[in-house]
Chain A
Amino acid sequence: DTGVSQDPRHKITKRGQNVTFRCDPISEHNRLYWYRQTLGQGPEFLTYFQNEAQLEKSRLLSDRFSAERPKGSFSTLEIQRTEQGDSAMYLCASSFSASFEQFFGPGTRLTVL
């Protein structure tokens, strides 16, 4: 399968714990995005990488959230000191620079108890 993959698919954690998610984009894609989606809502932009550079971060993203893309390939999203409000589906997408089409992964569903 050459699509976008995410790991884990599901994560249950207790409030206050740290969690880390991984995204492997389509290999030729230089742009990588993270979105968050809650039930009944559309995906909400979190952050964006072009190659290894993080070029934009949503103002909605608190300092508990950090993302990396160390070699311009896979990316990780870490949430520190999780809160119940962090419960959501975390989606990763990738694209070519000039393309308007983004390819989404299956998402990681986070539940914070």
Chain B
Amino acid sequence: GQSLEQPSEVTAVEGAIVQINCTYQTSGFYGLSWYQQHDGGAPTFLSYNGLDGLEETGRFSSFLSRSDSYGYLLLQELQMKDSASYFCAVRDGAGGATNKLIFGTGTLLAVQP
């Protein structure tokens, strides 16, 4: 089967740093993406790792280790508006580069004052 495991909830305070881990087991792997979803909103793209290593985009960074089937999203200088659900998603290109996403169960981040 295919599965992506994430912690269900994380709580942190404003200004802090938080790391959300993701381990995956999928039949195809063409990269790991991270999406943010506010309550009632649409998922929005945050970051993508196609190769091993760290990608940095402003306050957000994402890391991938393909040998460990593991990645994480790092959020720095947390703000109240970062309170949302965060999903890791494997880009499954098996069968002709479909590019469909297989999502994890999501991590609910609560930022406290």
Q: In the assembled complex, which residues on chain B have CB atoms less than 8 Å from the CB atom of A31?
A: 99
Is B89 interfacial (CB-CB < 8 Å)? yes
Residues of A within 8 A of B7 (CB): none
What B residues does A105 contact at CB under 8 A?
42
Query: Any chain B CB within 8 A of the CB of A21?
Result: no
Question: Can you list 5 pairs linking A and B with CB atoms under 8 Å apart?
Answer: A41-B106, A43-B101, A45-B102, A48-B98, A48-B100
Q: Which residue of A lies closest to B95 (CB)?
A: A56
B63-104: which residues lie under 8 A (CB-CB) from chain A?
A: 87, 89, 91, 95-96, 98-104
Residue of B nearest to A56 (CB): B98
Q: Is B62 an interface residue (CB 8 A)?
A: no
Contact residues on A (Cβ < 8 Å of other chain), bracket: 20 to 34
Query: Which parts of A44-71 form the interface with B (CB within 8 Å)?
Result: 44-45, 48, 55-56
**Could you tell me the distance in whole angstroms from the C-beta of B17 to the nearest C-beta in chain A?**
24
Answer whether residue A72 sits at the interface, using C-beta atoms and an 8 A cutoff: no
- Of the candidates A95, A100, A107, the one whose C-beta lies within 8 Å of that of B42 is A107
CA distance A105 to B102 in the complex (A): 17
Contacts of B24 in A (CB 8 A): none
Closest B residue to A6 by CB, please name it. B42
Given contacts A101-B48, A106-B42, 17 further A-B contacts (CB under 8 A): A4-B42, A31-B99, A33-B100, A42-B4, A42-B89, A42-B103, A42-B104, A43-B43, A43-B103, A45-B101, A48-B98, A48-B99, A48-B100, A55-B96, A56-B95, A56-B98, A100-B33
